[in-house]
Amino acid sequence: MNLPKINNKYLVAMLVFVSYTLFAMAWVGGTASMGQIMASMQVDSLASASFISGAVTLAKIVGTFIAAWLAIKVGVKKAFFISGILISIGLLTPLAPNYELLLVSRFLMGLGGAFMIVYFNPIVMAWFTPEERPTINGINAVAFNVGTGIILWQMSNFNSLTGSWKNTLLMFSLVSILLSIAWLLVKDKESNTAAKQDEEAPVRYSYIDGLKDKFNWIYALTYSGILAFYICLFTFYPKAGISQSALVIGSGIIGTLAGIVYSKKFTARVPVIRWSGLVIILTVLGLSFGNAEWLQTVCAMALGFFIFFPVTALVTIPHELPNMTGERITVVFSLFYSISYLIATIVLWNFGRLVDINQGDFTRAFTLITVVSSTFFIGSFFLPETANYKKLEVKQAPEKKESSCEA
């Protein structure tokens, strides 16, 4: 029996968005329940808990790096399905009878999430026009925040509804499985695109090409400082007595929506990245070193807004580069996330080390993260302005038209 194919691009976009939002809910829900999970296994070692965090970080670095390889091997549609199935392995988190199986389930779940975030871009490129891509990219960028926000504010209600934290996590995983099955019904647009590309004989873009491409390093380094700060904010800032992280998530959602509207109206991408980067440096300073609670609160809200306000512009830049293909954009974002996570991991390790060396004093560690957060501002001076390519295309268009008339 032939099942109907999903061919509506907005339904495809909704599937992608909800799949990643659900990953965030399952992921953060598992993290929030980790104390109960470890207690149920009678594991109270901090080393064991930190090893889970380390395994998860490794999954993000490795997963984002090999995501392009998997997509090239099996195609983006199948690769996205595999990522959904890996996320569904979170089913084992509340059921794991021992620490080792818990570790495996969290690692594979993190691997699935790492794959999925890379596949946003080739999917958006295949299904949406250049004019529509900034909006869809911006919506996808807020998916993790939406999932995190739902858990922070509604986890207790979910637990009351389902009867326990175990049932809640099981429910998230079961819905992930259903979404993965639904994804199989999506029409494979990649085969049509590949056929067109074969006719045009495109230049292949491998990992080696990606590593040699200066843009990929500038692009990843620009984002790495913000990623490091964002992870640090939820990992270390509460331990320093700064508890405004929930405000960052809420204002981050507002910032993303504002960024979508801005990017639709203004085609220049670099200015919003640059000036947001400058505000980020100032607000990181205020949040980290401010003595007044009201100042830290205002800075946290501004941070959330300005971290996510330029994200739509940032993730849209590769889509607007000349001669961009589905294969190339998959490699670009694979390297983008893996390099960023690797750098962020090194920064976080040094942050924790500075706190330990200074007997629990966060001053030098906060100085480090403030300096690192400046990569967004500094990187904006090296990123290409894709609006210039559009102007060039407009200037060349009449010439093409004239030559075709002469022919």
Alpha-carbon torsion angle 184, 148, 281, 369, nearest 10: -100
Q: What is the pTM of this model?
A: 0.84
Rounded Cα distance, 401 and 317, in Å: 27
Query: What does the pLDDT look like over 246-260, one tens digit per residue?
Result: 788 888 889 999 999
Q: Which CATH class is domain 202-392?
A: mainly alpha
Q: Tell me which DSSP letter residue 202 carries.
A: P
Read off the pLDDT band of 203 (50, 70, 90). low
- CATH 1.20.1250.20 range(s) for the chain read 7-182, 202-392
Rounded Cα distance, 356 and 252, in Å: 31
Residue 195 has pLDDT above 50, yes or no: no
Query: What does the pLDDT look like over 311-320, one tens digit per residue?
Result: 999 999 999 9
Residue 292: predicted pLDDT:
86
Rounded Cα distance, 81 and 185, in Å: 11
Residue 179: predicted pLDDT:
94
Q: What is the mean pLDDT of residues 367-375?
A: 94
Tell me which CATH homologous superfamily contains domain 7-182: MFS general substrate transporter like domains (1.20.1250.20)
Read off the pLDDT band of 9 (50, 70, 90). very high
Residue type present at position 401: K
Residue 78: predicted pLDDT:
93
Residue 212 has pLDDT above 80, yes or no: yes
Residue 389: predicted pLDDT:
66
Residue 360: predicted pLDDT:
86
Q: What's the Cα-to-Cα distance from 196 to each of 123, 189, 192, 200, rounded to whole Å? A: 16, 11, 6, 7
Residue 197: predicted pLDDT:
47
Residue 400: predicted pLDDT:
44
> Is 97 or 381 the better-scoring residue by pLDDT?
381
- Mean pLDDT lowest among 89-93, 96-100, 174-178, 206-210: 96-100
- Mean pLDDT lowest among 13-17, 149-153, 216-220, 377-381: 149-153
Closest CA to 291 of 363, 205, 388: 363
SS3 assignment, position 394: helix
SS3 assignment, position 186: strand
Q: What is the mean pLDDT of residues 190-205?
A: 55
Q: What is the mean pLDDT of residues 282-288?
A: 93
